Amino acid sequence: MAIRIETRGDVLRRTGKVMVIAAGMTAVMSFTIGMLVFGRDLAAPITVGQMQLFGLTAGVFISIALSGAMSYRAGLLMLELAHTRRELAQISQTDQLTGLLNRRGFDTEAAAALDQAQADGASVAVLMCDIDHFKSINDRYGHEIGDRVLVEIADVLRQFAIRHGALVARYGGEEFAAVVTGLSHEQTAHGAEEIRRDCAARTILDGVTQLPVTISIGFTLKNSGFDLGNLMRTADQALYAAKRHGRDRVEHARDAA
């Protein structure tokens, strides 16, 4: 059974376990090599040459065996640590409710996507999406239904990402973000309308009635000179325009500051 390393006492126990194993291996190997060198007759005379051969053989083989065993164990621990680090990194960048990237993960991957788009000479579009009247949904139907709304909207964004090779995230609260490269302004507007229509087509069942859900979207597109912060701010301004103009609509800003 593996010893969990959580306290100084665990370290001492693990060290003791390793020492016991090493001592046991040394004893077994020493006895085996001694039998091969000296034979099974415990009363037989031993020459200096035999002792030298025993010492050399035992030292070499025991050293190799222990080094190999400890190195293998250390390698397993390093592999486990690498897996754990990857899992923690993924958790830290993923929204646990929807399975989409969270803001931290989005910012990291979006920056890489912008660099690649710049290298490829491709356009970049940023979409900001916000669920309409989400606070009212939570207040009226409860947070369980609110969570189901978030999951449904996240699924719409996920399908959009699959169709268009986009990067999507739950950016915070009821707000979602997307980055898509290589599309024209018209294609981006069409994609945003796809998201809006697909969200409006989703209905959340609360056990009694069907709850319609709508979303407002603002987007911006640039062909070069990408700055994620500026693109996000410009798309956010377009989103607020969509909210002001009645919600359940798409607004766009052609140029990012």
Active site (catalytic) residues: 174
Give the whole-angstrom CA distance, residue 162 versus residue 191. 12
Angle (nearest 5°) at CA 184 between 182 and 185: 135
Q: Which residues fall within 8 angstroms of residue 235, CB to CB, at 6 or more apart?
A: 126, 127, 128, 177, 218, 219, 220, 253
> Helix 143-164 crosses helix 134-141 at what angle (to 10 degrees)?
140
Q: Collect contacts of 9-18 with beta carbons under 8 A, ≥24 apart.
A: 18/70
Contact between 216 and 242 under an 8 Å Cβ cutoff? The reply is yes
Angle made by CA atoms 11, 12, 13, in degrees to the nearest 5: 90
DSSP, residue by residue, 141-209: H-HHHHHHHHHHHHHHHHHHHHHHT-EEEEEETTEEEEEEES--HHHHHHHHHHHHHHHHH-EEE-SSS
What tokens appear for 5 in the block?
Answer: 């390393």
Structure tokens, 133: 């009247």
Across the beta sheet with 124-131, the strand order is: 167-172, 175-181, 124-131, 215-222, 250-253
